[in-house]
Amino acid sequence: MSTPWNRLPHGGRIDRQKPISFTFDYQRHFGFAGDTIASALLANGERLVGRSFKYHRPRGVYSAGIEEPNALVTVGTGNRREPNVPATMREISEGMVVESQNNWPSRTLDLMSFNQLAGKLISAGFYYKTFMGPAQKSWMTYEPFIRRAAGLGKASTEPDPDRYETRHAFTDVLVIGAGPAGLAAAHAAATSGARVVLVEQDRELGGSLLSEPVDSALDQWRAEVESDLRRRDSLTILTRTTAFGLYDHNTVGLLETRDHETPKPESGRARHVVVTVRAKAIVFATGAIERPLVFNNNDRPGVMLASAARTYVSRYAVKPGTRAIIVTNNDTAYRAAGDLARAGVQVVVADMRAEIGSEVRAETSAHGIEIRTRTAVVDVAGRHGVHAARLAEIDDVESKPKYSIEARSADLVAVSGGWSPAVHLTSHLGVKPVWRADIAAFVPGALPETQIPAGAVTGVFSLNECIVGGSEAGVRAATMAGRSGADPGRLPAIPDERSETLNLKPVWEVSGIRHGKAFVDIQNDVTSDDVRLAHREGYRSVEHLKRYTTLGMGTDQGKTSNVNALALMAELTGQSIEETGTTTFRPPYAPVTIGALAGRAVGAHFRPVRRSPLDDWHRKNGAELIEAGPWMRAWYYRWAGKTPAEAYIKEMQLVRSAVGISDVSTLGKIAVEGPDAAVFLDRVYVNNYAKLAVGKARYGVMLNDDGIAIDDGTTTRLGEHRYFMTTTTAQAGEVMSWLEFLLEAAWTDLDVHLASLTDQWGAMAVSGPKAREALALAFPAEDLATERLPYMGALETELEGVPVKILRLSFSGELAYEVYAPAECTEALWCRILEKAAPLGIKPYGLEALASLRIEKGHVAGLDLDHRNTLYDLGLGKMASKTKPFIGRELLAREAHIAKDRWSLVGLESREEDKPLRGGSILFARGDEIEGHGRGYITSVTWSTELNKFIALGLYKGGLTHEGDDVIAAFPLKDETHRLRIVSPHFIDRDGKRLHA
């Protein structure tokens, strides 16, 4: 394998014994183990990596870390295709497929780059001005084109085959960041006796020390400290792990990635893991991010941060250029100048300051580096790569060019505008960062005592100070965690190094030449002119500036752009940067895949499937099942037909003419017991339960504090202090939680015990004119006559030693019983009833028929209860007791709840029997314009076997005051209308003769 032409022959932290091949835009390239995609592309001479978001300008690698705004690529193919991956953060692996993004037909010839010609038309906020008119519906015309043009990478639409996990961890001290300060903090905390978790987003420990030449004194110090840490059992090291969010009570979200291993789905190993860590104390050693400088064409491929240029030379043994111009306003860029020069790069330093220190000048002169003070880069020439840079002498006071412009040949422009401490995590709980004028940057504000910043994040840039500060933070964190008994050990001696100084002269923009664009936010194509435009148009708040210009809203979240933008806005408004403030920092600090957040909670693990005790029987005996909330329920049975439309009609006819049996095990079942059970139920339900006789059941409705119905169901009194409550399937969990809340928070004086029995008891409804005969055959020893078991009566019995409850209740409107048995015995009892009552023609019926039968009877259910209904809306106002208090009583009577024009329950009969009727249709009065939300909607619809037509229940403004009126049901999605008549919601057996048979 030949060595790529930009690869240095020696040095770096790559493993030259492990060559790796990969493709970029279908062209084969080579790198080594330890390379990132970015370093490997630079080594192979690839300067153009992609296109920008809005203008489709050529873009190259800009940084070497998580702050990368430009080099976003798509990695993988098929269902493992992942877009918007920072090339600076993903390690290469054998056979990796990498593609550039946001270009067509290719990155070298992108036809969408014509957007640059329309730059003035698509400046900040252009979409607000352009796509809102002239007609009201213009947006609907523009939207499809905008959607196609928006976005960067294209994700796969195929199911994700990879595995993701979530887990929890607990520790005394969490150290975030493994640079010099983080290493020192972890060492001090661990030797103090604390349990420590050290988190680092890179694959190696060291932070900025990884950009030191390999085998240098500082590199040897780093390796020695790391070796010491890895020997300690009390310390856990998590590399390739990003702390993405700080939450209450020292809870931190971590994202551990294993993309470097490319774990195969069949291996069972997770690709990403979200770790929720709870720590007694946290040390934030998150470091700082180098700031760009704003000048014309500062986005061209070949323009990058000075720290990144140094990293590629020292860590990856890659020359990002051969002729470099480093433009800076501080001392730290001279480290990059020295490393580049030692790698054989011709270096010119354009220092915007008037004076530089003698120590800095002496070091650079030893390497033949040309230094030009009072000089800035004002423009860059080149398109797919830098060809030259224009230098100009600048004014000492205003830092503006004097127009003595000189063009210098260059293929690399490295910029250093200062450093911005990474305050994001420290701000996630609302702690505002504080401006420090001496370093022209924000540092963390006043944090809780268990949250301790250390190192560069505090604005300290001297290596010695970072290490000392880290050690002090580690000891303090261990003390806060209650682990201060042990003596903190000493770190290895720090090598003698020159003191690192900043000596920053803030320069926010080098202006003067206006034939190009000067970018503040490189990822989102936000220029300094956009910031000025936003100011002219009245957007002076930083939050408004962000949203109007999209500044800081990309995947990099403004890591390289925020401070420059704030400074420009401050200049325009005449305020200080401190007064201008920052935008709100929110999690996540870096993008987190949805798969990682979901973990294993996908499919049935995301929404667990609940199965009835009769589930196996249904599957073996011709049932088609359907999801009903979390439950799998028998939808219909193939004995009645091949389709649900055919089957439910026959099942309904069976129940109306003979007898059928249905699985209702999904009903919520709650035991309410104790001396105060009756008092409790009286307060919960609108009607009276204290006087309910033993062996009797009563239908009841419960309200919330606002007087809104939350559930209806039947409660049976089985003993003096023992009740058996049933709820709707949909509200079972909510009702249980509500009742527990009331006992634990509102009525702590009541002696009541609750127990959910939903899973412990199975249930079946036996319905139809022959229901009593069917149960008599199954329970020959029981007297089921009306005198013994009247409507709303209940009895507890045993069948061959198995406890059984028989309640005479009806959901179908026919003579019916609900039979309850322990879950493990439910199938045996179900089969017994089917077998014994077979001469009567009994067969099972499913959910579709069950719902249709209740519509004919006018029983409300989940579809008709939308958490906005009062008792009066449902026609149940007479149930409310006038003599006892109950939850929701006061607000139930408020004026808005008893208004005559509320949407109330009505029945609806079809006037066009040949046309299907659809649930969800919007209701209009005859003569109304078919537009908007109408006067109500259809909640439930079915074909009535009794009336031989479509019928429905619905909510309609004014309710039954409009009985007999014709209305129009509109279904806009199908452009359908249907004529209906408002009738009573009780379509059959209004006098209840069937129920009481």
The mean pLDDT value for 204-209 works out to: 96
The mean pLDDT value for 620-624 works out to: 97
HEC readout, 418-461:
CEEECCHHHHCCCCCCEEECCCCEEECCCCCCCEEECHHHHCCC
Does pLDDT of 136 surpass 60?
no
Q: Given this model, what pLDDT does residue 621 score?
A: 97
Does pLDDT of 730 surpass 50?
yes
pTM score: 0.77
> Which pLDDT tens digit goes with each residue over 847-876?
999 999 999 999 988 788 878 899 999 999
> Which pLDDT tens digit goes with each residue over 430-441?
999 999 999 999
Which positions ≥6 away from 705 have C-beta within 8 Å? 887, 888, 891
Does pLDDT of 981 surpass 60?
yes
Q: Given this model, what pLDDT does residue 1 score?
A: 42
Nearest to 650 by CA among 833, 448, 853: 853
Instruction: For the chain, report the end-to-end CA distance as a whole number of angstroms.
Output: 92
Which positions ≥6 away from 392 have C-beta within 8 Å? 375, 376, 378, 401, 402, 403, 404, 405, 406, 510, 512
> Which pLDDT tens digit goes with each residue over 302-322?
999 999 999 999 999 999 999
Q: Given this model, what pLDDT does residue 148 score?
A: 65
Does pLDDT of 674 surpass 90?
yes
Q: Report the alpha-carbon distance of residue 460 to residue 907 in Å, rounded.
A: 74
Q: Report the alpha-carbon distance of residue 509 to residue 296 in Å, rounded.
A: 9
HEC readout, 881-893:
CCCCCCCCHHHHC
Using a pLDDT cut of 90, give the percent of the chain over it. Answer: 74
Does pLDDT of 538 surpass 90?
no
- Tokens representing residue 556 in the block: 């990099």
The mean pLDDT value for 409-427 works out to: 96
- In terms of pLDDT, which residue wins out, 663 or 544? 663
Q: Given this model, what pLDDT does residue 496 score?
A: 60
Q: Given this model, what pLDDT does residue 287 score?
A: 96
Q: Given this model, what pLDDT does residue 512 score?
A: 61
The mean pLDDT value for 298-303 works out to: 95
Query: If you ran DSSP here, which 8-state letter would residue 810 be given?
Result: -
CB 637 within 8 A of CB 651: yes
CB 408 within 8 A of CB 391: yes
> Mean pLDDT of all residues in the chain?
91
The mean pLDDT value for 494-511 works out to: 78
Backbone CA torsion sign across 187, 189, 191, 196: negative
> Which pLDDT tens digit goes with each residue over 324-352?
999 999 999 999 999 999 999 999 999 99
852-868 in b/e form (b: 16+ CB < 10 A) is bbbbbbbbbbbbbbeee
* Residue 132 pLDDT level (bands cut at 50, 70, 90): low
Does pLDDT of 135 surpass 60?
no
- Tokens representing residue 937 in the block: 């909607």
The mean pLDDT value for 288-306 works out to: 96
The mean pLDDT value for 970-994 works out to: 93
Q: Given this model, what pLDDT does residue 316 score?
A: 97
Query: If you ran DSSP here, which 8-state letter would residue 838 be given?
Result: G
> Which pLDDT tens digit goes with each residue over 790-813?
999 999 999 999 999 999 999 999
> Which pLDDT tens digit goes with each residue over 439-455?
999 999 999 999 999 99
The mean pLDDT value for 618-639 works out to: 95
In order, the DSSP letters of 167-186 are: EEEEEEEEEE--SHHHHHHH
* Residue 114 pLDDT level (bands cut at 50, 70, 90): low
Does pLDDT of 246 surpass 90?
yes
Q: Given this model, what pLDDT does residue 123 score?
A: 67
State the CB neighbour count (10 A cutoff) for residue 27: 10
In order, the DSSP letters of 384-415 are: SS--EEEEEEE-TTT--EEEEEEEEE-SEEEE
Q: Report the alpha-carbon distance of residue 678 to residue 672 in Å, rounded.
A: 9
Q: Report the alpha-carbon distance of residue 997 to residue 995 in Å, rounded.
A: 6
* Residue 913 pLDDT level (bands cut at 50, 70, 90): confident
* Residue 403 pLDDT level (bands cut at 50, 70, 90): low
State the CB neighbour count (10 A cutoff) for residue 262: 17
* Residue 2 pLDDT level (bands cut at 50, 70, 90): very low
